[in-house]
Chain A
Amino acid sequence: MVISKKVKGEILKLKRATEPLFIICVFVVFFLLMFFQKAFNSESGYYTPELLSIQYMTSFNLLLLSLVGFIPGAVLGACISGIDYKHNTNVYVIVNVGRIQSVFIKIKTLFLGTMCLVLFMTFLGVLEGLFVGNQRAFYMDWKTLFLQLICCYSILLCSSMVGFLGATLTKRVYGGILIAIVFPILLERISIYIPILKYFTLNEYYASLIGYSFKNMTSDPQVQFSHSTWISYGSSVLIITAIILSMLIIHIIIVVKRDFKA
């Protein structure tokens, strides 16, 4: 995949930025904890031999990313959007690149970043499977993997878009992170008391996607995740795509109409 020079510029901006580095470290620690917690859980015992397959390890990684990926997603989105507000460098972005074009370049960077994260976790799963798979023949149910990739990518992209839009609204990186992480949790808590709200929470659609995509994980009793069945997989993907597009349109309107500081 050819990365355009403008996207390369956006990626370079994130080099040595503290927020992504911090969140990558947190995520790696979290991932390792989850991975080894299961491995050394006294009740579940070690991974049972039938689970130690490439398919299982890949699914496990993608499930993990689908469940907690909203954190790195939110940080990535907020950083891509908020870094120029933080350093007052929107001057260059608007004057050199242009308003609408700058949004699309940042979105491309976001798509690329989230895709890299999903692919990294997939390949990590394959590698884990190869190492611990006890010399089994390589087997992969490609349809399941495809559905899981779509699920994981949709969730990650949607979370990062919330962070992206949040940072633009608040003109702050941490504003975007806070909105992307706190807002869905808050909405979910409120929906306990106001049930109608649950139809507006992203988590409902995420749960539905996870429920349909990770059916193969149900053979592992230790892996439990809630999933909603009131909406189909296809509808969930469509709704999440519509939400992503709506956020993109709102973002473009804000950037096109906004007066920028210098």
Chain B
Amino acid sequence: MKTIELINLSKEYKNTRALNDINLEINKGRIVGLLGKNGAGKTTLNKLITGLIFPSAGSIKVLGEVPKGGQKKIGFLSENIALYPNLSARENLEISILQEGKSPKYDQISKILKTVSIQDTRKKANDFSLGMKRRLQVAMTVLANDRELLILDEPTNGLDLDGVLWLKNMILELKNQGKTILLSSHSILQMEDVLTDYIILKKGILADSGEMATLNEGILNIEIRVEDIEKGKNALEKKGYLYNQHGNLLVIPVKVDYMHYLLVLNEEGIYPSSYNLKKKSLVDRFHQYAGGDNGD
């Protein structure tokens, strides 16, 4: 079942095109990492999906509806702190529940606050540390009300290592509950292992997307250890292959089946003592598709 469907989606701000002709589908229960440098269009995409802004062209459907806000199926954690600073953590959560038209229960709120490790429930939100503000915001967005789709924009902002681990566990728990999560983060590496899919944006264009499982199958480099390094280099140069040398190690970017490089060396009478395959990671993919300066 499609949770998010974007067709030729574009968004312009005055003279800037923030998103250009995006086509994308996200299915139910997926945890999707949204990657891109600053200004790549991540937040714009998040805001379009939540209905905070409208597209300049193209169409967008979230859970079968055009998002205009008030769907009660989407939870959005914005990258900026969004809390009522004069109110306590408990009161902030009460507002989230009241907005849903429900009565806030004392025990329910206590349980949520315990989950996000906020002990001082009477302290004003303004007096919280950045990390605690973030935890409270997560509680208001993710835990206060039941949501099918969660958009988490830079959820790790302000969180320490413990906080990131806590968030990661929470995302895994939500994944088990069948929630769909779109996660954009600068420190996506910390979240890489919880993702099922990835999307890379570059200057408002969809540069790459796919499943993490497929991504991990891809081989980036082969590292071959040979006794006679000069002989090995000559064999590769003869075939016109690019390589890097690290001592007795030849590092070759894999363009064809990796076995081919071993065969080339064998043909020249070189028998590697060992070889190692370096698989592609999200970082490699990110550098490949979103590399360059900010947004370039």
Q: What's the tally of chain B residues with a CB closer than 8 Å to chain A?
A: 41
Tell me if A's interface is mostly helix, strand, loop or mixed. Answer: helix
Q: Which residues of A contact B52 (CB under 8 A)?
A: 90-91, 94-95, 259-262
Interface residues of A in 188-239 (CB under 8 A from B): none
Q: For the complex formed, measure the closest distance between the CB of A100 and the CB atoms of chain B, giving whole angstroms.
A: 8
Say whether A143 faces chain B, with CB atoms less than 8 Å apart.
no
Closest residue of chain A to B11, judged by CB? Answer: A259
Cβ contact of A5, chosen from B50, B74, B78, B102, cutoff 8 A:
B102
Cβ B69 vs Cβ A4 within 8 A = no
Q: Which residues of B contact A90 (CB under 8 A)?
A: 52
Q: For the complex formed, measure the closest distance between the CB of B97 and the CB atoms of chain A, giving whole angstroms.
A: 8
Closest residue of chain A to B96, judged by CB? Answer: A92
Cβ A8 vs Cβ B87 within 8 A = no
Cβ B153 vs Cβ A18 within 8 A = no
Q: How far is the CA of A5 from the CA of B94 in the complex (A)?
A: 10
Q: How far is the CA of A262 from the CA of B151 in the complex (A)?
A: 12
Q: Which residues of B contact A134 (CB under 8 A)?
A: none
Segment of A9-17, A121-129, A151-159 engaged in the interface with chain B: A9-17
Cβ B101 vs Cβ A95 within 8 A = no
Q: Which of B53, B82, B145 has the most CB of A within 10 A?
A: B82
Cβ A259 vs Cβ B54 within 8 A = yes
Cβ B82 vs Cβ A96 within 8 A = no
Contact with B along A1-34 (1 / 0, CB 8 A): 0001110110011011110000000000000000
Cβ A9 vs Cβ B99 within 8 A = yes
Say whether A246 faces chain B, with CB atoms less than 8 Å apart.
no
Cβ B43 vs Cβ A262 within 8 A = yes
Q: How far is the CA of A97 from the CA of B140 in the complex (A)?
A: 14
Say whether B241 faces chain A, with CB atoms less than 8 Å apart.
no
Closest residue of chain B to A100, judged by CB? Answer: B70
Q: Which A residues lie at the B interface, using CB under 8 A?
A: 4-6, 8-9, 12-13, 15-18, 83, 87-99, 101-102, 259-262
What are 15 pairs between A and B in contact, CB < 8 Å? A4-B101, A5-B98, A5-B101, A6-B98, A6-B101, A9-B94, A12-B94, A87-B84, A88-B80, A89-B84, A91-B52, A97-B99, A98-B69, A99-B70, A262-B43
Q: Which B residues lie at the A interface, using CB under 8 A?
A: 43, 46-47, 50-54, 68-72, 74-76, 78-87, 91, 94-96, 98-103, 124, 140-141, 145, 153
* 10 tightest Cβ-Cβ pairs between the two chains A and B: A98-B70, A9-B98, A16-B86, A259-B53, A262-B78, A94-B69, A88-B82, A260-B52, A96-B99, A5-B98
